[in-house]
Amino acid sequence: HGRASLPQELSAIGYHLVFAEGTKTELNYAKSIEKGIVEKYFANPSVNRLEIIEVDQKKNGLDTIRLVDYAEAEVKRRVASGEKIDYVWIFFDKDDFPLADFETAIKETDQRNEKDFSERNLNEDPCDSNGTHWTACYSNRCFELWVCLYFGLYQATVSKGADYIDRINRYLKQNGAKFLYEKNIEDLHQKLVSAKGSLKNAICFGKKLNQKNGNKEPSTDVVSFAFYFQNYLKEEKKGE
C-alpha cells in the first residue's frame, strides 16, 4: 500500500477497512475523518490509510448481522489475494433492529480477535490469525448519539432517533453554527468542530457512557474509531 512513501508517523497508522451502509451518515463521518488525515499530512489520497467500503443496503445491509458477514467475506477475499489489513471497523446502529441481532453482531465482530491474545498486530492489539484487529463501531440507539457527545455528556434514552437530531440542532444554534444537522451530512467532523464541538470531549463522554452502560442504550463504540485516529487529525481549534 505504499507505506515507504508515507511520513514516518503516518506509516504506523496501519491499513484500515471501514464498512458502512451507503445510505447512512456513518459513511460520511468516516470520510470526514479520512479528509482530516489527508489535510494534516497533505498525503496523496492514493496512499491514504483508510479504505471506506460503501455497502449496498439493498443487497447486503438488511440487518446488522448480514453487514458483519459481508465484511468478513470481503476481508477474507482480500487477504487471500495478498492484501495486508491491519484494522477493520464496522459501523452499525441498534435503531429498530432486534436487540439479540444487535448484540450478536457485536459479539461476532469481537470474537474475530483471538481470545488468548497470542496474536497481536502492528500496535500490539489483539487480532485474528492474519494480523487484523476487528471493531464493531456500534451505536445504541443511533449514530446521532455520537454527534451529541461532541457537545456534552448526553445520558438520556430516547424514544426515536429524531430526538437526538433536535438536541444536536439546539447545540448548533446555541453555538452560532451556520448549518443544521441532517442525515448524510458531508464534512461532519469538520463542521462539528467549527461549531465548537470537540472530538476529545466526545471520546471522553463516550467512554463514560460505555463504562456505565456496556452496549446498552445509550452507548457507542464509535469511541474506539475516534480514539485511534484522533492523533492523526489537526489540533482542534475553537469555533470562529
What is the pTM (predicted TM-score) of this model? Answer: 0.91
Res 220: pLDDT:
97
Distance CA 65, CA 105 (A): 5
Say how far apart CA 78 and CA 167 lie, in whole Å: 41
Per-residue confidence (pLDDT) for residue 157, from 0 to 100: 87
Q: How many other C-beta atoms lie within 10 A of the C-beta of residue 51?
A: 15
Q: What is the pLDDT of residue 167?
A: 95
Range of weakest confidence among 50-54, 141-145, 205-209? 50-54
| Helix or strand (DSSP H, E) at 101 | helix 99-110
Neighbours of 34 (CB within 10 A): 21
Please report the pLDDT score of residue 46 as a whole number: 52
| 94 band by pLDDT with thresholds 50, 70 and 90 | very high
pLDDT of 2 higher than 50 = no
Given a cut of 80, whether residue 44 has pLDDT beyond it is no
Residues in a beta bridge with 139: 93, 220
> Do residues 85 and 15 lie in contact, with contact meaning Cβ atoms separated by under 8 Å?
yes
The pLDDT confidence band at residue 118, using thresholds 50, 70 and 90, is low
Could you tell me which residue, 111 or 60, shows the higher pLDDT?
111
Ordered strands of the 219-220 beta sheet:
50-55, 16-21, 87-93, 133-140, 219-220
pLDDT value, residue 30? 95
Residue 104 is predicted with a pLDDT of 95
According to the model, what pLDDT value does residue 13 have? 84
Give the whole-angstrom CA distance, residue 86 versus residue 59: 26
- With a pLDDT cut of 90, the percent of the chain lying above it is 63
Amino acid at 3: R
Give the position of cell 459479539: 107
CA dihedral 145, 151, 155, 156 (to 10 degrees): -70
Predicted confidence (pLDDT) per residue in 176-207, tens digit: 999 999 999 999 999 999 999 999 999 999 99
Q: Write the single-letter amino acid at 219.
A: S
Rounded Cα–Cα distance for residues 20 and 27 (Å): 5
* Average of per-residue pLDDT across 78-99: 92
pLDDT at 43: 63
Q: What average pLDDT does range 33-61 have in this prediction?
A: 76
Residue 43 or 159, more confident: 159
Local confidence band at 115 (pLDDT 50, 70, 90 cut-offs): low
Confidence (pLDDT) at 63 = 80
Per-residue pLDDT, averaged over 155-160, amounts to 86
Q: What is the mean pLDDT of the chain?
A: 87
**pLDDT average, residue stretch 210-234:** 94
